[in-house]
Amino acid sequence: MTATSPRLKHEVKDLALAILGRQRIDWAGREMPVLAQIRDRFAKEKPFAGLRLVACSHVTTETAHLAIALKAGGADAILIASNPLSTQDDVAASLVADHEIPVFAQKGEDNETYNRHVQIALDHRPNIIIDDGSDVVAELVQNRQHQIADLIGSTEETTTGIVRLRAMFNDGVLTFPAMNVNDADTKHFFDNRYGTGQSTLDGIIRATNILLAGKNIVVVGYGWCGKGTALRARGMGGNVIVTEIDPIKAIEAVMDGFRVLPMAEAATYGDIFITVTGNKHVIRGEHFDAMKDGAIVCNSGHFDLELDLKYLASKAKEIKDVRPFTEEYKLTSGKSVVVLGQGRLINLAAAEGHPSAVMDMSFANQALAVEYLVKNKGKLEPGLHSIPVEVDQEIARLKLEAMGIHIDTLTADQIEYINSWTSGT
Ligand code: ADE
């Protein structure tokens, strides 16, 4: 159902869900002290006054805190979903009803609606775009070139989006500055690794309620998300197998104590498969054909093309919902394969995404990246820009402080030593 408020344009499922959303947003806030400090400063300084901002992100309790911080800073902000299955409808309702932030997102929206929401976002004529996966920026670059003049710059949350932005830059179409939030240390070390690690297993458990101990769990890809997923899967007692195409990452996985196999072989052993590569069809026909009866497959990478589900559907005589977010493909061969979350990010489809404590740092980076773009308006070259090291370090410092953890500082003698080359053996 599309609700319509007399005050505010929006498309959320049901404004009556706002009460629950408000409670859950408050709960998440307990673990987001860094972003809270930034929000309070923004509220005083109003760095975004008069600016139109679009955020395309998973509409979660954590994103709510980011949107609230940006609005506190004076932004005329609207929010759309960065994935059709990741919206928390109660959060969307609360943002509209309690915070007067227009949200266009509903869990389970079809692709047509998703794309229409991207159009609504661009109709807002943003000066700033916060993107997660680069769908808004790709649409701007492909079909709304005339609006680039309005844009100060964009920020990008995720590895897949960064890969797309690099390709745009190489094709000469990224003609404005884009902040690479993903590669900040306080983002990917924690969000991609511990966030994806925990929330992916959370999604699998919520969808299936299966025991992970003793299962052969195949983690496809050993980037930061794969590292976290493999680590946590092992922690739950799984026998973890990693597949990779990068020789260095493969050695890392071996030395971290995992068995590394090519997918063709891993396919025959796995009870559960988790893709986290950012590439397409990393599990495809020949792999599905080799799987054990009842194998469970899911994806925690940004897009839903890591599993070749078209192939699987073409071999299925029946596709049955067996639990929420759990579909059994009964194949003509007599076997079945169980697909979770329609191959979309399982951590957001069946669970609630990364926990707030890591999103605190990710979204502190987003908030400060937006401020950096605004402060440096007109001065930054087109292309990808790193988050300044001082910003990254400051976020880490604030996080440690909030966690009550103290660290050491260098003595003057040590500073002199590490800055000199004269003393040796
Ligand atoms: N990406 C992964 N987890 C998320 C969360 N909790 N909120 C927003 N984006 C996310």
Let me know the angle formed at the C-alpha of 405 by 67 and 191, rounded to the nearest 5 degrees. Answer: 40
Over range 397-422, report the average pLDDT: 96
- CA distance linking residue 127 with residue 134, whole number of Å: 16
Q: How confident is the model at residue 123 (pLDDT cuts 50, 70, 90)?
A: very high
Over range 173-196, report the average pLDDT: 97
* pTM of the complete model: 0.95
Over range 329-355, report the average pLDDT: 97
Å from CA of 133 to ligand 1 middle: 12
| pLDDT exceeds 60 at position 344 | yes
Å from CA of 86 to ligand 1 middle: 9
CA dihedral 179, 180, 182, 186 (to 10 degrees): -80
Q: How confident is the model at residue 2 (pLDDT cuts 50, 70, 90)?
A: very low
Q: Which two tokens stand for residue 207?
A: 């969808």
Over range 266-273, report the average pLDDT: 98
Å from CA of 425 to ligand 1 middle: 50
The DSSP result for 235-268, as a single string, is HTT-EEEEE-S-HHHHHHHHHTT-EE--HHHHHH
Task: Please give the pLDDT value at position 425.
Answer: 80
Q: How confident is the model at residue 423 (pLDDT cuts 50, 70, 90)?
A: confident
Tens digit of pLDDT for each residue in 275-299? 999 999 999 999 999 999 999 999 9
Q: Residue 19's CB: how many other CB atoms inside 10 A? A: 14
Q: How confident is the model at residue 424 (pLDDT cuts 50, 70, 90)?
A: confident
Let me know the angle formed at the C-alpha of 197 by 68 and 215, rounded to the nearest 5 degrees. Answer: 145
Q: Which two tokens stand for residue 364?
A: 């502190």
58 lines ligand 1 (CB under 6 A): yes
Over range 253-260, report the average pLDDT: 98
354 lines ligand 1 (CB under 6 A): yes
Nearest atom (ligand 1) to Cα of 62:
7
Share of the chain above pLDDT 90, in %: 97
301 lines ligand 1 (CB under 6 A): no
Classify 295 in phi/psi space as left (phi over 0), alpha (psi -120 to 50) or beta: beta
Task: Please give the pLDDT value at position 324.
Answer: 97
Q: How confident is the model at residue 76 (pLDDT cuts 50, 70, 90)?
A: very high
Task: Please give the pLDDT value at position 56.
Answer: 98
Environment class of 334 (CB within 10 Å of its CB; exposed 0-12, middle 13-18, buried 19+): exposed
Over range 171-199, report the average pLDDT: 98
- CA distance linking residue 369 with residue 363, whole number of Å: 9
- What is the pLDDT of the chain when averaged over all its residues? 96
The DSSP result for 204-239, as a single string, is HHHHH----TT-EEEEE--SHHHHHHHHHHHHTT-E
Partners of 217 in the beta sheet? 240, 272
- CA distance linking residue 110 with residue 292, whole number of Å: 32
> Which of 240, 279, 278 is closest to 260 using CA atoms?
240
Let me know the angle formed at the C-alpha of 268 by 257 and 298, rounded to the nearest 5 degrees. Answer: 75
Task: Please give the pLDDT value at position 7.
Answer: 54
| pLDDT exceeds 50 at position 4 | no
Q: Which two tokens stand for residue 416?
A: 């002199």
Type of residue numbered 346: I
Over range 236-241, report the average pLDDT: 98
Tens digit of pLDDT for each residue in 83-106? 999 999 999 999 999 999 999 999
10 lines ligand 1 (CB under 6 A): no
Query: What beta strand segments (E) does 58-193 contain?
Result: 76-81, 103-104, 128-131, 153-156, 177-180
Number of residues that this document lists for the chain: 425
Over range 188-196, report the average pLDDT: 97
- CA distance linking residue 243 with residue 221, whole number of Å: 6
Calculate helix-pair angle for 247-255, 224-235, nearest 10 degrees. Answer: 20
| pLDDT exceeds 90 at position 5 | no
- Residues 48 and 70 sit within 8 Å (Cβ to Cβ): yes
Q: How confident is the model at residue 6 (pLDDT cuts 50, 70, 90)?
A: very low
259-260/239-243 β-pairing: parallel
Strand 295-299: give its sheet, edge to edge.
259-260, 239-243, 216-220, 272-275, 295-299, 336-340, 326-331, 316-323
359 lines ligand 1 (CB under 6 A): yes
Å from CA of 312 to ligand 1 middle: 29
- Residues 274 and 219 sit within 8 Å (Cβ to Cβ): yes
Task: Please give the pLDDT value at position 173.
Answer: 97
Nearest atom (ligand 1) to Cα of 345:
2
Å from CA of 354 to ligand 1 middle: 5
Over range 147-169, report the average pLDDT: 97
Q: Which two tokens stand for residue 340?
A: 């979770």
Let me know the angle formed at the C-alpha of 132 by 130 and 133, rounded to the nearest 5 degrees. Answer: 130
182 lines ligand 1 (CB under 6 A): no
